[in-house]
Amino acid sequence: MRSDGLLGFPGGVVDDKLPNNNVDEAMKLVKMTVIREIKEEINFDVELNEPKYTATFVTSSDITKPYVLHTFLVKVKLTLRNILMDIDLELD
């Protein structure tokens, strides 16, 4: 369950322009976006080297602005602190 109460996966948009000629830097920026979105939407911390790229999906090229979806596999550890924060209970 996401923080907005809906079932789904965390996701978002890369805020910065991806470099055209440097695949490693582009992937690092995408991974940083994955980490940020996971923290914002489901409140889990993920290390930079943790997201593992799995696949990319692109919408039809006949539309004005194609939508690109990158998927990653991330292992998270569920803790009591995460559960309590998710239901807005006092931790102290």
Q: Which domain holds residue 81?
A: 1-92
Which stretches of the chain are assigned E, i.e. beta strand?
52-58, 68-73
Dihedral over alpha carbons 7, 8, 14, 19 (to 10 degrees) = 170
Residues 82 and 71: their CA atoms lie apart, in Å, by 23
Contacts of 25 (CB under 8 A, 6+ apart): 19
Radius of gyration of the CA atoms of the chain, in A: 16
pLDDT score of 81: 67
Give residue 46's Cα distance to chain centre.
Answer: 10
For the chain, 92 residues long, give each residue's pLDDT as a single digit of tens: 666 677 777 788 787 777 778 888 888 888 888 888 888 887 777 776 678 889 988 887 677 777 788 888 887 766 776 666 666 555 44
Number of domains in the chain: 1
